[in-house]
Structure 1
């Protein structure tokens, strides 16, 4: 089973200071057929104007991942974390029993581009958590999130894995899928073929009931690969 989620079909919101594309229902965009996939609830592709950002707001019982694609995020939260997240770094905020935070474009002259990703946890309440790390851009699969922090990954409160996938043009990555697991791939850049489907930047694909996948790059590729319960 697979379902292609084309970038052109995503929800869209433009508030002037924020231009956002929603892979799943979010905010004013609602599609009952796109309420998430397994524990994956949100993928927002955001562009924030210079000096603008999200004022202080709250979250509870959600795993919130940010990946900066261009620029820098200025982050501040009620747990005392005050950080700048540069391009290429991942930030994981576990909201736990409740946390307030703000996110701003740290530049007064250049736009900020980042992915905001929410995963529903399998542990509720508890203290909020904050993690931040750069993983580089190594060829193939790099583990970013896991429930046990294996191989230097960030620790996620859910039975899910997230990999960064980097491929040069013409390269193929073979991935084995455990029985009963689901896969979601979000293509950040380049073109990629999987299961006979050709994906372009911003596209996603939902995959279930498969045991082995082959991802082949047409041009340099950067993608996120979710292994979900």
Structure 2
């Protein structure tokens, strides 16, 4: 069971550890949604609605990526290696050591140019349904962290698993994004401290190495061996039936 669902824990951790980047990208809109409503309380329903919309978009992206991964099923090993390389690039990005993922964000900006006018029509947000709709559009914002998570989802090799991976990834980003809306300045100051970012980057780096390790030939060999051991009783039963 742990091996079967370990990819969800990994995706959740990637989202949480990359949240320092999320605050930079989405903290502004979260801060606007979290502005005090009459009575002086943060607008929690709008903050949560915004996150729910993002998670829906991420899950849709994951399903599409997973469907593509299923078509390329024999190439899952190389895809895991590529996903690990993307996570390592994200770790370097979070640490501030290398900003090579910026070119990916620039590529995604072409799509965002078509989506952004729709999101602008939803501002200012006055209701929870508006916040959900805005979050579903904002999920398509060009983001290196999301693209890194998508490659991880792609390597899952099926639409349901990839959608679950992206949902778990989005869930990992919720605490920081919601907290940045409720107490934007304080949370941004904490999460974006160099020492905190380095710790988060180091852990993402480890996830990247772990992902690459699983995509190397020895990982594939182990997977084939496990699959063969599971199939052998069935094949044996089939062979017995043939002799009858």
Q: Which one has the bigger helix percentage?
A: 2
Q: Which one has the bigger strand percentage?
A: 1
Coarse TM-score class (shorter-chain normalised): under 0.3
TM superposition score normalised by structure 1: 0.25
Select the structure of larger CA radius of gyration.
Answer: 2
Task: Give the number of the structure with larger relative contact order, counting CA–CA contacts within 8 Å between residues 6 or more apart.
Answer: 2
